[in-house]
Amino acid sequence: MVQKLLYRVPGMTCEHCTRAVSAEVSAVQGVSEVQVDLADKLVTVTGEDLDDRALRDAIEEAGYEVA
C-alpha cells in the first residue's frame, strides 16, 4: 500500500538543504519519491511500508531537525 508521510523541517533554507535531505531520505528502504518545499519547510515522502523512525533519522543524518 502506498503511503505519504509529511515532515516539518524548519532548518531548511536553500537548494543545498533540498539536495542533502532528498539524498538521505531517498536512500531509506521503501521510498519512491521525496518532495521538498522550502517555502513551507516541508518534506513529503511517498513509498511503501515506510518506517517513520528511519525517515526521521535520515533527515537528522542530513543535518536537520524534524519539528
User: Which residue reads 519519491 in cell numbers?
Assistant: 33
In 3D space, the residue among 26, 12, 34 whose CA is nearest the CA of residue 58 turns out to be 26
Ranges of residues in the chain whose predicted pLDDT is under 70: none
pLDDT value of position 59: 98
Fold classification of 2-61 is Alpha-Beta Plaits (3.30.70)
Q: What is the distance between the alpha carbons of residues 21 and 63, in angstroms, rounded to a whole number?
A: 8
Q: Could you tell me if 26 and 34 are in contact, meaning their C-beta atoms sit under 8 angstroms apart?
A: yes
pLDDT value of position 47: 98
Residue 64, burial from CB neighbour count under 10 angstroms (0-12, 13-18, 19+): buried
Q: What is the distance between the alpha carbons of residues 24 and 50, in angstroms, rounded to a whole number?
A: 14
Prediction pTM value: 0.95
